[in-house]
Structure 1
Amino acid sequence: MPRHFLRRLALTVTLLAATLPALAAVDLSAPIPVGPQVKVGKLPNGLTYYIHKNNMPAQRLELRLVVKAGSVLEDDDQRGLAHFVEHMAFNGSTHFKRQELVTYMQAIGVKMGADLNAYTSFDETVYILPIPTDRKDNVDKGFAVLEDWAHGLTLNEADIDKERDIVLEELRLHKGAGERLNKVVMPKLFNGSKYAERLPIGKEEVLRNFKPDTLRRFYRDWYRPDLMAVVVVGDIEPSEAEKQIRAHFAGLSNPVPERKRDYPDISSRLDTEALVVTDKEARGNAVFLRYPVSPAPARLTYGGYREKKIESLFSMMLNLRLLDLITQPDAPFLGGSTGITRFTPRYQAYYAIAAVGPRGAEPAIAALVQENMRARKFGFSEAELERARKNMLRSYERGYNERNTTNSASYVGEYLRNFLADETLPGTEAEYRLVQEFLPGITLEEVNAFARKTIPADSGKLVVYSGVERADTPAPAHEALLAAARMAEQADIGQRTDKALAARLMEHPPAPGNIVEESEDKALGLTRLTLSNGVKVILKPTDFHRDQVMLSGARFGGQMLFDEKDIPNTRYASQVAANMGLKDFSPADMGKILAGKSASASTLLAGYTDEVRGNSGADIEEIEAMLQVLWLRFDGVRRDETLYKAYMDSQKEMLRNRQAQPEARFRDAIVDTLYNKNPYEPRELTLDDAARVSLDRSIEIYRQRFSSAKGMTFVLVGSFDVAKLKPLLATYLATLPTSELTVAYRDVGLRPVTGVVKKEVLGGVEQKSILSVTFTGPAAWSEQESLRMAALMEVMNLRLYEVLRTNLGLIYGAQISGAVRKIPYEHYVISGLIPTGPEKMDKVVAALFEQIERLKTAGPDEAELAKVKTNWRQRNQRSLRENVYWMQRLQASVLDGTDPDRILKVMDDVDAMTAADIRAAAQRYFKVDNYVQVVLNPERPATVAAAASQAGN
């Protein structure tokens, strides 16, 4: 075991011994108590609540209403109404009329969708409400909203009818190959259970025709306190939170009589069965093996927790074996996973799944089954177990280190799982202590015994093949799937052997260079260094996260420096190099050598830049490991034809499957139309492009850009000591090669078309359409102008939601985005995608351009602009406490040549922005005589599709 790992383990045990109560001889049969981090209570009416005070981020509160009721509880005339109730929660209640809730939340900086949201599943409905706590009224209103959701929805007929079109548009989005495949597969996966008949989106005829009382019946029956939990995590005193909960929820009562809340049974499959299902628009080919379902064990004791860790170790090791398989010559599949999945609150099953590659379904099935049989027969090795232990320990160590800097939203999931699936809540500190206690004592024989007990031999599995319906590649027969599984189970399987690996990536670090210049920026907390090889470094030590260091590097260069004939090779160069590993190590080898360490670094040949990214923990040896990986990425490329072929096979299969997807062909048409099929346009590559990729040319291109660090400025942000970091920077960054190369971008003349260009694309059998609109043109770039463009986009998205969705019911959702760009020339791009139905397309286009014209003539109203500013103010406050934000902004200031002081001053420009500024921006950028409109319409109009459907019946 590496010395650093033992040292960290000893240090951690010492710290825990000093800070946590002794965990003497654990009674494995004892239940795990709820930790002190959360207060869990229950009101007399049965409502459960969770309160966790957490100040990250400050002045923000995460509220959830969890209802233990979803689509599986719907009566036959209610299919889809659990989800419809969720929609109505935002459309009229005791304290908020239709749309008043959304309007109010936007006014206090809470965005619909990004912040305020909800979801409905088979067994639960969860409402999501983050609230700023800078004003007490916000908190009071937040709890009032939860109370309204719980029992105060008005559900009046007019509001219900208004929402029908919106829900039907959401249903339309679900239509496609995935839905068609699920209709066949789901009944088999759920063995005829009610779950297969109650997909949350529901049935179209029900959504169109249900009576309001049918919806009210679902709400009355299932929205009741004994099936509810309120979760409160964030910057609030627990006593205040509990007071709010009691004030708002103690008066709720359960209906009389109460309907019994049942969980449908799922019968266990006794015989092995095969299912083949294809669709010409499917996203890819896959095989899925589902073994008999069984009740999920309630692991509420220390012994149950220990068994969960055994299960996790088992899954980690087995899935790493599958990862190894995809790097072999003629890999049996493109990727796979296996293990135990808990697919309802009460049931679990063992599964194996793989993305099918060019060799087809049978080799994929054989490989999945054989690896499972190998683990069942021979188990794992001590080396595999030790690596899994290290990785697991490091994961929990990071959680422990970050316990005081973890975002409140990250804790919410634990409380939802406790309420919905009885997950234990020991707390981060206690859980880390348990892992420390249990991991060393988990033996190889225990893990191997778990494998023998868990991996099914041959009984009652469902073998599913789902794939793209292609004339040139027939789907396998049912009998072939069964035969492949049966032969794999009966095959003579040998024991797996581990190859010996080096203990570290670099046996001998390079002789250090020097730091030749140093300066401080005390206002921003920066240290700037110039190294002896000319490389520059910006250091920003922070306490935002206790166990995180982030690195970036960038300079001008990129793909556009290369000739047109090299486009496929430039696109793939970074990925090809990464997928072959480093030095003498494959990617799988690197994962094993770095087991127990959080450290990575990657390179990217982007359009106009060469970029580097890295991450590590705060441990100085992990930072060194990250820098070693970075150094080796500049030291050359590991040439491995086997790994190259495996990677390119996966890419070709992905591109082959992509051709079947109408949305993908639509995206290609947008780019082709916008740039008139310029060879440098930013479109997806094709199979023909992939066939032109050369291993040696990709390596040559990579080396041209990443064999020298000349012109690079690296930014490191995170939890580190500058003095301790400097020697590592001198060793690794100051010794990077800096031979001559071009440090500039090339303008290849890529320009969008001008004038009004309209195109229709036909694709897809469902009655679905998508509108794409793109505005482009020259623009004078500045940071202030970029802000004005961003504000214009925010206002447009408010209008899309309010007018096209809420008022007109034409869409479910849409997004428009825009940017002013400096490289390779000063210009702007605004693009929007709006899904709708073909029968609504003309109305959508008219409504969109009406809103554009309104913004150009009248601009936003003050309330709209205030919503944008309030949200940005809150987002900026949170961003200033995030390492990734500082890293991105500092790196951008280097490339743009701007003053990084704006990081602290950007809100001054936001506050100064006026409605007139946004109106002027709309006039500059929404040029209705210069845009590209591309519409995706179905292959068959609705009348033809309906006639064909009737003929089929």
Structure 2
Amino acid sequence: MKATLMLLRKTRGIFVFSLAVAMSTTALTTALAPVAVQAQAVKANPPVAFAQTKSDLTPDPAARFGKLPNGMTYVIYKNATPPGTAAVRLRFDAGSLMETDAQQGLAHFLEHMAFNGSKNVPEGEMVKILERHGLKFGPDTNAYTSFDETVYMLDLPKVDPEIVDTALMLMRETASNLLLDPKAIEAERGVIFGEERARASPGMRAYIAYAKAAFAGQPYPERLPIGQVEVIKTAPAQAFVDFYNDFYRPEYATLVIVGDINPDEIEAKIKAKFGDWQGKPQTKNALTNFGTYAKKGQRVHAYAEPGLPDSLSVSWFKPFDGSVETEASDYDDTLDNIIGAIVNLRLERQSKAPETQFAAASFGNGSVNKTAETYSLSISPKPGQDKAALEQALMTLRQFQAYGVSQTELDRVLTEFATGLDAAAKGEKTRNTGAIAGQIIGTLGDNEVLTSPTQNLAFFNKIKSRLTLEAINARIKALDLGDGPLIARQGSDAAKFDQAAIQATYQTLMAQAVVEPLAIDKKPWPYEQFGTPSKVIKTETLADLGVTQVTYANGLKVNIKPTTFKDNEVLVTIRFAGGLQTIAPGASAPIFEASSAGVFEGGLGKLEAEEIKETLAGKIYGLSYNIGEDSATLSGGTTKDDLTTQMQVLMAFTSDTAFRADAFERLKAFVPNYYTQLQSSPNSVFSVKAPRVIRSGDDRFGIPTQDEFLKTSNDEVKAFTQTLLMKSPVEITFVGSITVEEALKQIDATFATLAPRKPLPVAPKGNVVKFPTTNLHQVFTHKGREDQNLSYIAFPTTDFFASTQTARGLELLSEVMTLRLIEEIREKQGASYGSSASSIASNNFKGFGYIGASATVKPDQDEVFYTSVMAIVDDLKTKGVTEDELLRARKPVLDKYEVTLKTNGFWAGVLPGSSTDPRKLEAVRTRKAELEKVTAADLQKLAQTYLVKEKALRLQAKPEAK
């Protein structure tokens, strides 16, 4: 469960361009003092009404919209991706903006209480019931509270009548039957404080300060979902009851069910389960007031705090527009999205020029929850270049406003829009169930009409003739950005800020003349012919897995898995054997630097990165670079129509990556901000240091220091990456909407032309990683809040292939530990919002593995956490695991596995490397049976064998001394 800061609603209409604001989107805040709200008519929330009842737009015909006599609304949507699953969402039109001064935080707190006892479900049993049905707490069972809504979420791994009935029963319990027992409320206070503590960050505090400057006089800055500490600490049970009765009402509720279901049966169940629900009398607190944005003029705001990255933003505001989506508004929004897309292309292109003093910049618009409409220019200045960065980015925006866009720019964006809409329409029948549920929820709070990809494409084609250069440029000329701007500066060092100088810079810039932008040249794509292909020498079909494996004479190996999981999607992975095993520990190889740089920004020998984007505009392709333990990979996702382009891009970057030095230098401009943020919280400090400590100081893991990164040269990154891409043996994996014949055709035109390659030698000790045996208690420090802390314990185990059966047992043992940690640390002690355990077993380094347990407790509770974990371990060893615990640990894992087997992403993850190591495929075949074979006695024995107190590594990330 989480309090969510819903900063910017999506732009209505078919397209959404970058919503760029220099603010954190992390949830939660510290205590805030109330501010006066402008006088405005105060009224109770209106009942939920679907936008299409007030619009000329036709909703998605696949959706069934309904309303019960009591006012409750529902949406049912049949969708079978993944098959046999469903997503259930219960939304209440109530969030933190509906709270009174005395209620700040209760909307979110009440969300937590939904899991703590109701009329028909005893306290502590709701999550256990769901676990027994295969839903894991967190990934499958969750909820969130934002400014204007609270949403409860269940992802059902199966849709048999029992689990569907259980889900509906629990949602009804949440809707009207919560007990809100004072003792349960008291016990949950610590969990809420733990969530506030875990999520608080410099970025969050910077955003609070920004919101106060931007929206003074409105409740928004004082109604962040986490609320006020004093209210959380002292609110009586009656206050919860009042908010519950005021806003958990049928007329404010919408039930959404999407999945592989029978809509008629589901509708009947909804009517039977919720038809007799009646709201209780409301109090005067049900009256709501969101205030109205008032003009404030041009002004400057600055905020500094250690751990805060440097950034600038220039923002304009208008009163909130909550009007209903219509064809006319969608046309206007489409014009605005085209405008935003083009200005962002210009800013991105400009950021790549050596003389540019911002590392990145973007422009966008959006809605702040029931508070204001906003346009914002967001800027990441290069170190020490605030003034120049502001001048350059703002001048680009002024230039855009003065001269409009070119036909070349418009053609590119229109082509990309059309391509994306066409691809979405072709994949409409196999969209993800959870994504559809999220889309439906999104429409409810924004007065939007739910439309399908096919409808979106048809609308675009209908208005395309009106999307002319004249129309776009007329829109730009008439564009009213609104009140302001508010120029906001934030960073870690207040000494850098000179608000008067920022104001003077802005005013001087606005008085300068604007010159016309340079034209853009589009170059041809030069990577279409690569040579004569090698011949296929072996083909093997693995019928049980639906996989075909092919070997070429040049040593190239290919895995092909045609699927029907998702229409019009093809995932391609190019695997280069080698990875970390070819690097000697202590060699100081630029692994992290190379991974961060990737390969795309350095461009190709014949085209720079921006030229590639321009040349391939309208094509759908991907390029991701990753370095793993036993390989490096280039991967991408595309459609059937653009598979040829995808393969040419992957082949071009394999054979002609340019590694331009200016791209790596641009990356370095982000490094100071990145390392500043890494010091600001226990989690980030832990992520930097723990991976290396857990592996006995092996420098192939973890993150180098900032100085080490900045001293790394482009030539070092180039040499390291070229060795992997241009010398390592290659294996290619295709998954998705593709035939074996089409895959081989693509290979013949690209990778089959490669010269034979020999395996890279394994470095001395390259395939060895050791869990530490000394210095087993280490403490890291961070620069964040004084009450933020992460405590961690790890026990050494073994590698995955030492015994896959043992690995499955250790996986379930860690799941049982998670159940007990949640019950002990979160529920009984109320000491932590997040506590869990996991099992890591290496596929590549023999003998290396571990089970780790962590919790975000207060610094002075580190010893309590350690003692609690050891008590759990002792109990697992002596008393063992109950059958109910084993069921609640195993069923979510098994059911999730059944679901993931029906996704392209799963197979794209497991097939690479399988042609040379068949153990990977055998592990897929045996996973379910091995998990089912594990007994409670097995888990007790594994605990006795591996959870050895004397071998445990104990880590803590606590605040540095002030």
What TM-score do you get using the length of structure 2 for normalisation?
0.90
CA distance 1:530–1:635, shift in 2 (3 Å): same
Q: C-alpha separation between the residues in 2 aligned to 1:883 and 1:774?
A: 33
**Is 1:533 equivalent to 2:554 in the alignment?**
yes
Q: C-alpha separation between the residues in 2 aligned to 1:822 and 1:859?
A: 28
CA distance 1:527–1:667, shift in 2 (3 Å): closer
CA distance 1:676–1:745, shift in 2 (3 Å): closer
| Equivalent in 234, 252, 262 of residue 288 of structure 2 | 262
SS of residue in 2 equivalent to 1:456: coil
| Equivalent in 707, 711, 715 of residue 692 of structure 1 | 711
- Shifted more, 807-816 versus 491-500: the winner is 491-500
| Equivalent in 463, 472, 488 of residue 509 of structure 2 | 488
Structure 1 residue 639 displacement after superposition: 4.3
Q: Which residue of 2 aligns with 1:100?
A: 125
Query: Is the 1:656–1:687 contact (alpha carbons within 8 Å) kept by the matching residues of 2?
Result: no
SS of residue in 2 equivalent to 1:460: strand
| Equivalent in 715, 733, 747 of residue 751 of structure 2 | 733
Q: Which residue of 2 aligns with 1:373?
A: 398
Structure 1 residue 669 displacement after superposition: 4.7
CA distance 1:483–1:456, shift in 2 (3 Å): farther
Amino acid at match of 1:717: V
Cα displacement string for residues 567-591 of structure 1 (whole angstroms, at most 9, x for unaligned residues) = 3534333526432111222222212
Structure with greater contact order relative to length (CA < 8 Å, sep ≥ 6)? 2
Q: C-alpha separation between the residues in 1 aligned to 2:114 and 2:456?
A: 37
Q: C-alpha separation between the residues in 2 aligned to 1:78 and 1:450?
A: 44
Query: Is the 1:61–1:133 contact (alpha carbons within 8 Å) kept by the matching residues of 2?
Result: yes
Structure 1 residue 203 displacement after superposition: 1.2
Query: Is the 2:114–2:174 contact (alpha carbons within 8 Å) kept by the matching residues of 1?
Result: yes
Structure 1 residue 739 displacement after superposition: 4.1
**Is 1:163 equivalent to 2:188 in the alignment?**
yes
Amino acid at match of 1:42: K
Q: Which residue of 1 aligns with 2:486?
A: 462
Query: Is the 2:302–2:489 contact (alpha carbons within 8 Å) kept by the matching residues of 1?
Result: yes
Q: How does 1:822-901 map to 2 (within 5 A)?
A: 822-894=843-915, 896-898=917-919, 900-901=921-922
Q: C-alpha separation between the residues in 2 aligned to 1:755 and 1:918?
A: 27
CA distance 1:257–1:114, shift in 2 (3 Å): closer
CA distance 1:869–1:465, shift in 2 (3 Å): same
Structure 1 residue 859 displacement after superposition: 2.7
Structure 1 residue 478 displacement after superposition: 1.0
Q: Which residue of 1 aligns with 2:614?
A: 592
Q: Which residue of 2 aligns with 1:705?
A: 724
Q: Which residue of 2 aligns with 1:238?
A: 263
Structure 1 residue 196 displacement after superposition: 0.7
Q: How does 1:561-572 map to 2 (within 5 A)?
A: 561-562=582-583, 567=588, 569-572=590-593
| Equivalent in 815, 838, 841 of residue 817 of structure 1 | 838
**Is 1:443 equivalent to 2:462 in the alignment?**
no
**Is 1:757 equivalent to 2:776 in the alignment?**
yes
- Shifted more, 581-590 versus 152-161: the winner is 581-590
Query: Identity over the aligned pairs, expressed in percent?
Result: 24
Q: Which residue of 2 aligns with 1:16?
A: none
Amino acid at match of 2:119: T
- For structure 2, which runs of at least 5 residues remain unmatched after alignment? 1-53
**Is 1:279 equivalent to 2:305 in the alignment?**
yes
**What is the root-mean-square deviation in Å for CA atoms of aligned residues?**
2.4
Structure 1 residue 322 displacement after superposition: 1.5
Q: C-alpha separation between the residues in 2 aligned to 1:101 and 1:318?
A: 50
Q: Which residue of 2 aligns with 1:416?
A: 441
Cα displacement string for residues 708-755 of structure 1 (whole angstroms, at most 9, x for unaligned residues) = 353x22111110122233222112111123344515465245533205
Q: C-alpha separation between the residues in 2 aligned to 1:576 and 1:228?
A: 46
SS of residue in 1 equivalent to 2:258: strand
Amino acid at match of 1:351: S
Q: Which residue of 2 aligns with 1:723?
A: 741
Q: How does 1:539-618 map to 2 (within 5 A)?
A: 539-559=560-580, 561-562=582-583, 567=588, 569-573=590-594, 575=597, 577-618=599-640
SS of residue in 1 equivalent to 2:395: helix
CA distance 1:519–1:576, shift in 2 (3 Å): closer
Structure 1 residue 463 displacement after superposition: 1.0
Q: C-alpha separation between the residues in 2 aligned to 1:346 and 1:187?
A: 12
Amino acid at match of 1:595: A
Query: Is the 1:517–1:530 contact (alpha carbons within 8 Å) kept by the matching residues of 2?
Result: yes
CA distance 1:526–1:238, shift in 2 (3 Å): same
Q: Which residue of 1 aligns with 2:794?
A: 774
CA distance 1:296–1:862, shift in 2 (3 Å): same
Structure 1 residue 892 displacement after superposition: 4.9
Q: C-alpha separation between the residues in 1 aligned to 2:107 and 2:336?
A: 34
SS of residue in 1 equivalent to 2:378: strand
Query: Is the 2:528–2:648 contact (alpha carbons within 8 Å) kept by the matching residues of 1?
Result: no
CA distance 1:657–1:521, shift in 2 (3 Å): closer
Q: C-alpha separation between the residues in 2 aligned to 1:301 and 1:113?
A: 37
Cα displacement string for residues 537-592 of structure 1 (whole angstroms, at most 9, x for unaligned residues) = 11111111111111223354224534678635343335264321112222222122
Query: Is the 2:533–2:749 contact (alpha carbons within 8 Å) kept by the matching residues of 1?
Result: yes
Query: Is the 2:682–2:789 contact (alpha carbons within 8 Å) kept by the matching residues of 1?
Result: no
Q: Which residue of 2 aligns with 1:15?
A: none
Amino acid at match of 1:617: T
**Is 1:175 equivalent to 2:195 in the alignment?**
no
| Equivalent in 412, 417, 430 of residue 387 of structure 1 | 412
Q: C-alpha separation between the residues in 1 aligned to 2:239 and 2:403?
A: 57
Q: Which residue of 1 aligns with 2:377?
A: 352
Q: C-alpha separation between the residues in 2 aligned to 1:467 and 1:585?
A: 36
SS of residue in 1 equivalent to 2:957: strand
Q: C-alpha separation between the residues in 1 aligned to 2:66 and 2:214?
A: 37
Structure 1 residue 240 displacement after superposition: 1.8
CA distance 1:289–1:526, shift in 2 (3 Å): same
Q: C-alpha separation between the residues in 2 aligned to 1:707 and 1:716?
A: 21
| Equivalent in 622, 627, 638 of residue 647 of structure 2 | 627
Structure 1 residue 67 displacement after superposition: 0.6
Query: Is the 2:728–2:758 contact (alpha carbons within 8 Å) kept by the matching residues of 1?
Result: no
Q: C-alpha separation between the residues in 1 aligned to 2:910 and 2:682?
A: 37
Query: Is the 2:307–2:676 contact (alpha carbons within 8 Å) kept by the matching residues of 1?
Result: no
- Shifted more, 903-912 versus 400-409: the winner is 903-912
Q: C-alpha separation between the residues in 1 aligned to 2:560 and 2:336?
A: 41
CA distance 1:499–1:475, shift in 2 (3 Å): same
Q: C-alpha separation between the residues in 2 aligned to 1:653 and 1:164?
A: 35
CA distance 1:853–1:564, shift in 2 (3 Å): closer
SS of residue in 2 equivalent to 1:891: coil
Amino acid at match of 1:47: M
SS of residue in 1 equivalent to 2:292: coil
